[in-house]
Chain A
């Protein structure tokens, strides 16, 4: 077995004292590396078993109402021509995270990509050519080490924003979300309790309204919807990133705020709702920390074209992919047994057009904030 020599690297850089959480991550990293040394000394093939992140390895738990990852694993071997590079990259990502942990710093996904990207000695090949290649390996590392991104000291770009009647602290700074101007508070990628501390007493909001896009969110913020209805207003720039989903999860569970979603009436909108509610296939291992099974779908509904008496011009014809996607969504186990949802999707297919939230502007600029959402909330008219 390769002898271990006393680690020389941290000699210059002061080694930060590891938090108990980092301690656990570090252990996972070291045992991964030890596995390689062990295999090498025994002249065996080094490999790692990575829990599979595919639809086939995802189970819907009707009891908990969330997606859970199954036990399926993919073996990644070093001495397999098609996997050798992926194996090497996995080790590189692990070594990068170890360095971050050692120095007590965090970096963006792109930052790690640049940390690890270099030309392999004796060739013209790069370790990584593209950030996407690095990002998937990071997700592999998360499930492999059972440490989420935050624990690996990585974060993604901030996406999504919030305003509302709530105050909390972010890395010690007090954030008053009712005084955020027109831009709102940018929801960070890491919203774990060691960064953001929520306080039940400093929250006056009664519910959360999540909208799909920044443009719609602007409309609500400009009309000061959150002030009138005493709520928190968030958006996720389309498919909400993990930071936003985790934030919603914490607000919902720790402050007991119900969540309502206003999304486009198209298969994509349905899927966003599905991800918020049950979790995504790719990140099923995070469902536990992110999914909000009690989330409600407020709109837009496929009956809204008639119900709100919209004009012909707002229709957007469904494409073939839309139709295919809609049928897939309808077959998801968590939609399959819900009659209202089946009716909703069938209606959209029958309409053969989709509606964006912005289409309500054709009625009146503030129709969505002054009429549409208040009426739905009043009538408790939503899909579950």
Chain B
């Protein structure tokens, strides 16, 4: 190759022509996977999730008990229209375009306060995705109070400039008048709106794929209902099934407080920036007012060890001094941040939420005291539901008949999946196979004999066989559904020894058993591994708290399971003795020719006496020990129910009230 001096393909001037600023929206439009829009399936979920999270945050901040409507309907092949409405405070007219049409616009980024959203990317990114994939604008209706008109906007995001573009009302949005007239308008424009005094509805049309099961919208809403028992959710899915999660708690969680950053959690760059942005003040004052837990004495100590003038202006501190200050912070003992800014769900509500949604027989919850990682306070909460027999096994023939008549599903498999909560497709397949019915058979058309077969199969198939522990992860009450294995929660669950608590677990894997475990981490700043907020980073402090929480509920589960086993053993006991007594009696009579029958009767009497004694064993304080596991006293944060009477286990088709009245008259 000839070595010429003109080997350079370009030069600095030419290259400069192609160098220009990239807007945030352009960057994320290209890298939408960073925000959770990797594929159509996940895009649908992320859209619902961002909208619901925002709604909940808004309602709670305004002090309103949240009620949320989610409606997903298919519009064309691979396209869905998603509408989410809340009963929140509504949004001021001039803010609407900015919130929904500009990336990184929000109220939550700059403050340290426990909330679901953090950055202000989510909902506008969902809108951007919708516009990109379908070309349809985002539609927003928001109403602030009863008498005032609702604002209606159709918005597209201008990706180049990261600015909203308003399409209706000549770029100014439109007002929908209150009252009857408004309803007519809504009807005319094809906007959906559940009539309300105040609230916001956002409608996005996007390319999506609707699935059920893991990582689905269904799962997200169900898990949200568990962690937010004060929320009522109405969900109409694309196949027109209506799910209603009604609230089980009537009180809002206490309002989280905003806190100032703690010096330990502040990085060098951030410290320098804070100093630069600060108004003119002394260094000491800067530390005292901008950070939490810095007293005048500590501020002085910091300055002294960094050799910075205490009274000097904060703007006069140069870079090397900032570094010194940073080092001084790390080596000075500062009390940990206040922890009252965290609002955990609470053990009571975790139990309520779990019991309301997850069928089971044993529930336990533990809220850990607040702890601190990198200067950020956080709280770990753990809830556990141990499911007894599957709902399919508790069905009587009559109930099955009713359910079969009520259902509007097309196949038996679908009927099973929709009727019995927590029954996956695999288990439904097993039941259908066992029953010997044809896969495409309609449930309502089953003959009595076929119904018998179905019932027998439902009773016989052990759906919990080989079932793995189901982990529900939450960060600030938001379910995390992806990247399970990368999450600190999952890693800690695997790293905990569950064998001591009565579950089976092979080394380095999840424990097995009909168990649902919920782990909630509440913090002013949850450390996620990426922007799409799917997994929690493994800080040792966080892992330690999770482990302690897991052990707390694990111990209770272990006690319950051991007691249950003991009761079973007690009833086995008499039987065991009786079985062996006959052998002993006949062996003895072979040796000394004793009357076998008489000896057997006598031994049986002794056995009765012995087991009766065991039944009424006294505890250390001389009280009768209760052998019934449901009477076991395990403390306050435990709930034991009879799984046969679980209402959440079976979905019944809601019949309209008028019909019910007619039935009653007839």
Whether A88 and B591, one on each chain, are in contact in the complex, defined by CB atoms closer than 8 angstroms, is: no
> B27 at the A/B interface (Cβ < 8 Å)?
no
Given A45-B606, A45-B610, CB of A88 within 8 Å of CB of B590: no
Asked if B595 and A43 sit within 8 Å, CB to CB, the answer is: no
A78 adjacent to B584 (CB under 8 Å): yes
A88-B595 contact, Cβ under 8 Å, with A40-B603, A95-B590: no
Instruction: Return B542 CB to nearest CB of chain A, in Å.
Output: 39
In the complex, A2 has a CB within 8 A of chain B: yes
With A2-B598, A95-B588 in contact, do A79 and B610 touch (Cβ < 8 Å)? yes
B586: nearest residue on chain A (CB-CB)?
A: A95
- Are A99 and B577 neighbours in the complex by a CB distance under 8 Å? no
Q: Are B576 and A2 within 8 A (Cβ)?
A: no
B548 at the interface (CB under 8 A from A): no
A260 is an interface residue with CB less than 8 A from chain B: no
CB-contacts of A87-106 with B (<8 A): 87-88, 91-92, 94-95, 98-99
Interfacial chain A residues near B593, Cβ < 8 Å = 4-8
Smallest CB separation, B383 vs chain A (Å): 35
Q: Is A41 an interface residue (CB 8 A)?
A: yes
Q: Are A40 and B591 in contact (CB under 8 A)?
A: no
Shortest Cβ distance from residue A24 to the other chain B in the assembled complex, whole angstroms: 15
- Judging by beta carbons under 8 Å apart, are B582 and A121 in contact? yes
Q: Quick check: A91 and B594 within 8 Å, CB to CB? A: no
Q: Are the C-beta atoms of B577 and A98 separated by less than 8 Å?
A: no
The listed residue with most B CB atoms (<10 A of its CB), out of A33, A39, A98, is A33
A3 to B594, CA, bound (A): 6
Q: Contacts A79-B577, A123-B579 hold; do A95 and B602 have CB atoms under 8 A apart? A: no
Within 8 A of A (CB), among B549-594: 569, 573, 576-577, 579-584, 586-588, 590-594
Question: For residue B167, which residues in chain A have a CB less than 8 angstroms away from its CB?
Answer: none
Q: Interface size for chain A: under 10, 10 to 19, 20 to 34, or 35 or more residues?
A: 35 or more
Which residue from chain B places its CB closest to the CB of A35 in the assembled complex? B588
Which residue of chain A is the closest to B573 with respect to CB atoms? A81
A84 lies within 8 A of B602 (CB): no
Where chain B touches its partner, the secondary structure class is helix
How many Å from the CB of A188 to the closest CB on chain B? Answer: 28
Question: A92 near B576 (CB under 8 angstroms)?
Answer: no
A37-B588 contact in complex given A4-B595, A81-B573, C-beta closer than 8 Å: yes
Given contacts A2-B595, A37-B599, A40-B602, whether A85 and B580 have CB atoms under 8 Å apart is yes
Q: B591's contact among A2, A33, A85, by CB below 8 Å, is which?
A: A33
- Asked whether A4 and B594 contact (CB < 8 A) given A84-B577, A91-B583, the answer is yes
CB of B607 within 8 A of chain A? yes
Which of B579, B586, B588, B598 is packed against the most chain A CB atoms within 10 Å?
Answer: B588
A98 touches B591 (CB 8 A): yes
**Does any Cβ of B come within 8 Å of A339's Cβ?**
no
From A43, A87, A94, A125, give the contact of B579 (CB < 8 A): A125
Distance, CA A81 to CA B602, complexed state (A)? 19
- Contact A84-B606, Cβ < 8 Å, known A3-B598, A127-B583: no
A46 at the interface (CB under 8 A from B): yes
Chain B residues closer than 8 Å to A121, beta-carbon distance: 579, 582
B19 CB within 8 Å of chain A: no
A29: Cβ under 8 A from any B Cβ: yes
A182: Cβ under 8 A from any B Cβ? no
Q: Are B594 and A33 in contact (CB under 8 A)?
A: yes
Known: A37-B594, A43-B602, A45-B610. A91 touches B579 (CB 8 A): no
Q: Is the CB of B591 within 8 A of A87?
A: no
- When C-beta atoms are compared, the residue in chain B nearest to A36 turns out to be B588
Q: Does A32 contact B (CB under 8 A)?
A: yes
Question: How far is A115 from B588 in the complex, measured between Cα atoms in Å?
Answer: 16
Complex interface: chain A residues within 8 A of B5 (CB): none
Q: How far is the CA of A146 from the CA of B582 in the complex (A)?
A: 26
Q: Does A74 sit within 8 A of B, measured CB to CB?
A: no
Q: By the criterion CB–CB under 8 Å, are B605 and A95 in contact?
A: no
**A123-148 contacts to B (CB < 8 Å):** 123, 125, 127
Closest Cβ of chain B to A9, distance in Å, is 7
CA distance A120 to B579 in the complex (A): 7
Q: Is the CB of B580 within 8 A of A43?
A: no
Q: Is B609 an interface residue (CB 8 A)?
A: yes
CA distance A127 to B580 in the complex (A): 9
Distance between B553 CB and nearest chain A CB, rounded to angstroms: 30
Q: Is the CB of B598 within 8 A of A91?
A: no
| 0/1 interface trace, chain A 41-74, chain B, CB 8 Å (1 if under) | 1011110000000000000000000000000000
Chain A CB within 10 A, most for which of B573, B582, B599 = B599
**B606–A91 touching, CB < 8 Å:** no
Q: Answer yes or no: A313 CB below 8 A from chain B CBs.
A: no
Asked whether A43 lies within 8 Å of B598 as measured between CB atoms, the reply is no
Q: Is A157 an interface residue when CB atoms closer than 8 A count as contact?
A: no
Complex alpha-carbon distance, A382 and B606, angstroms: 61
A122 contacts chain B at the CB level, 8 A cutoff? yes
Q: Does A30 contact B (CB under 8 A)?
A: yes
Query: Who on chain B is nearest to A37 by CB?
Result: B594
Give the shortest distance, in Å, between A28 (CB) and chain B (any CB): 10
A294 on interface, CB distance cutoff 8 Å:
no
C-alpha gap A44/B603 in the complex (Å): 9
Q: Given A3-B595, A37-B592, A127-B583, do A79 and B607 touch, yes or no (CB 8 Å)?
A: yes
When the two chains form their complex, are residues B595 and A91 in contact, meaning their CB atoms are under 8 A apart?
Answer: no
- Whether B576 and A91, one on each chain, are in contact in the complex, defined by CB atoms closer than 8 angstroms, is no
Shortest CB-to-CB span from B598 to chain A, Å, is 4
Contact of A34 among B586, B590, B592 (CB under 8 A): B592
User: Taking the nearest CB of chain A, how far is it from the CB of B206, in angstroms?
Assistant: 60
Give the distance to chain B from A114, nearest Cβ to Cβ, in Å. Answer: 16
How far, in whole Å, are A95 and B591 apart by their CA atoms in the complex?
Answer: 6
CB of B488 to closest CB in A, whole Å: 37
Report how far A46 CA is from B600 CA in the complex, Å.
13
- Alpha-carbon separation in the docked complex, A34 to B589 (Å): 9
- Are A88 and B583 interface neighbours, CB within 8 A? yes
Q: Which A residues are CB-close (under 8 A) to B579?
A: 120-123, 125
Distance in angstroms between the alpha carbons of A45 and B613 in the assembled complex: 13
A sample of 12 inter-chain contacts (CB < 8 A) reads A3-B598, A4-B593, A33-B592, A40-B606, A79-B606, A85-B576, A88-B583, A91-B583, A95-B586, A98-B590, A120-B580, A125-B579
Q: List residues of B whose CB falls within 8 A of some A CB.
A: 569, 573, 576-577, 579-584, 586-588, 590-595, 598-599, 602-603, 605-607, 609-610
| Additional A-B contact list (17), CB under 8 Å, known A6-B593, A127-B583 | A5-B595, A7-B593, A9-B590, A33-B587, A33-B592, A37-B592, A43-B605, A46-B603, A78-B581, A78-B584, A79-B606, A79-B607, A87-B584, A88-B583, A95-B587, A98-B591, A121-B582
Which 9 A/B pairs are nearest by Cβ-Cβ distance? A33-B591, A95-B587, A91-B587, A33-B592, A40-B602, A95-B590, A7-B593, A88-B580, A2-B594
| Contacts from A to B (Cβ < 8 Å) | 2-9, 29-30, 32-34, 36-37, 39-41, 43-46, 78-79, 81, 84-85, 87-88, 91-92, 94-95, 98-99, 120-123, 125, 127
